Amino acid sequence: MDGVPPVPTDPDRHPVADADPDVHAELDPDTVFVLSRPHGTVVARGVAAGFSDVGAAQAALADGSASAVVGALPFDTADAPTLIAPESVAVTDTPLPGITPTPHGIVTESTHPSPDEHRRRVAEVVERIRRGDAEKVVLARSVDVRVTPRVEIGELLGALAGGNPEHNAFAVDLDRDGSRWLLGASPELLVRKRGREVTCHPYAGTAARGADSASDDAAAAALTASTKDRVEHAHVVDHLRDRLARWCTDVEAPTEPQLTATGELWHLATPIRATVRDEATTVLDLALDLGPTPAVGGTPRDAAVDIIAETEEPRRFYAGAVGWCDANGDGEWMVAIRCVEVAADREQLRMWAGGGLVAASDPDAELAETTAKLRTVRSALGITDV
C-alpha cells in the first residue's frame, strides 16, 4: 500500500462524487474510465468533452467548464493524449473485488523485437551507458497476440484487479467511443494530490517471485542486496525529489527503499511525500512535469528518451500515465505499466514490458525481467504458457 489516506467522498472536496460505482464483468456502456486502488475506486461515465491537447484540458479545469478530467497521457509528450471531461464521476473507498480470469487461448503471437534482437539492443544500450551517453535507460518490448474467446473489457479489468494484493487496475476508453481500450494493473503511483498533500510511490528494481516460500524469500533477499537495482531505484527517487522541489516544500523520502510484492514480482519502492506551495496547482500539472520518470525512461531524462526513440518502436500510451483530476486539482495518476491495449475487435491485443538498464545490466537477465512482467496481463487473460 502507498500509506496515504483514502480518496475522500466528501462532496465539499469532490463535488463530482456520486453514489458507489457498480462495476460488473460487462461494463456499463457509458463507462469511459475506471481506476481501482487499495483505498478506493473511481468510475467515470459519459463524454461531456474530449481533449487531444493537454493545455485545453487544463484550461477547462481552470475555468470550471470541466468538473473533472480523466484519461491517459502518452509516453512521448509530442503525441496526443486521450483526455475526457466525463458527464459523471463516482468515487468510493473500496477497490474492485477482482474476479477469476476466463481462460483465453492464443491464436497468433508475435514479439517486437524478437528475444534475440531485444538482447542485442540491451547490449548496445548498456555499452552506450558505459560510454557515458546516459546513466540509466529503460528498454521495453511489446507482444502482439490474437486470442479466443473475445475479451470482455469489464471481465479483464476484474481479473487484473484480482491478480495483485492491492487490487490495482485501470481501464481507459482510448477513442472515447468504446472501441479501443487500455487496461492494466500498474502498482506504481506517479503522483496523488489531496489539498496541499502530494504523494509519489516510485517502483524501480525488480525480481520475479519464487515458486515456493524458500525461493521467494531468496529472490526478495537478492533484490534487496542488489547494487544494480538499488542504483536504478536511486535514480528514480532523485528525479522525483528534484522535480517535486519545483512545486512543493517539505519533500520527504526514506533513505532506504522498501521491499514490495505484487502478484508476480518483488520491487524496490519508496514512498515520497511533499506539500504543494500553491493549492491552485493540480495533480495533472504535477503528472505532466514528473513523467516520464527514470523508472520508465531513464536518466538524464532527455538523453534516455532520445536513446529509446532511436532504439524502440513507438510506445504509444505504455509508460505514460493513467489517472484523473477533479475541479479542486485533486486526484491520482498511475504510471501506465503492466498494461495491454485491446483493439476494437476484442481479439487483437498488444502488451508491453520493460526493464531499467545500467552499466551492470545483463541481456539475459533483462529479457527474463520483461518476460516476468508480461505475466501480469497474461495471467489476467488466463494464459499460463509463459
User: Is the preceding omega at residue 8 within 30 degrees of 0, hence cis?
Assistant: no
pLDDT single digits (tens) 198-249: 999 998 888 888 889 999 999 999 999 999 889 888 888 999 999 999 999 9
**Cell (9 digits) for 258:** 522498501
Cβ pair 14, 194 in contact under 8 A:
no
Set 135, 136, 166, 312: catalytic member: 136
| pLDDT computed for residue 261 by the predictor | 85
Distance CA 58, CA 54 (A): 6
- DSSP run (H or E) holding 129: helix 115-131
Answer yes or no: 252 catalytic.
no
How many other CB atoms are there within 10 angstroms of residue 313's CB atom? Answer: 11
The neighbouring-strand residues paired with 374 are none
Distance CA 158, CA 98 (A): 4
Can you tell me which residue has the cell 520483461? 370
| pLDDT computed for residue 8 by the predictor | 32
CB-side exposure of 338: number of CA atoms within 13 Å? Answer: 33
| pLDDT computed for residue 13 by the predictor | 33
Which amino acid, one-letter code, is at 142? S
Burial degree of 224 (CB within 10 A; 0-12, 13-18, 19+): middle
| pLDDT computed for residue 18 by the predictor | 36
| pLDDT computed for residue 232 by the predictor | 83
| pLDDT computed for residue 12 by the predictor | 34
Task: Give SS3 for 370.
Answer: helix
Handedness of CA 174, 178, 180, 184 (dihedral sign): positive
| pLDDT computed for residue 263 by the predictor | 74
Answer yes or no: 312 catalytic.
no
Per-run averaged pLDDT (10 residues), the chain, 386 residues: 31 36 65 97 97 96 96 96 97 94 95 97 98 96 97 96 95 96 96 97 87 91 91 89 96 92 86 95 97 92 95 96 97 97 98 93 95 94 78
Can you tell me which residue has the cell 527474463? 368
pLDDT single digits (tens) 283-327: 999 999 999 998 999 999 999 999 999 999 999 999 999 999 999
Set 135, 166, 188, 366: catalytic member: 188
Cβ pair 223, 266 in contact under 8 A:
yes
- DSSP run (H or E) holding 379: helix 363-380
Cβ pair 266, 260 in contact under 8 A:
yes
Contacts of 214 (CB under 8 A, 6+ apart): none
Distance CA 43, CA 194 (A): 18
Cβ pair 252, 237 in contact under 8 A:
no
Contacts of 382 (CB under 8 A, 6+ apart): 101, 102, 103, 104, 159
For the chain, list the domains and their CATH numbers.
31-380 (3.60.120.10)
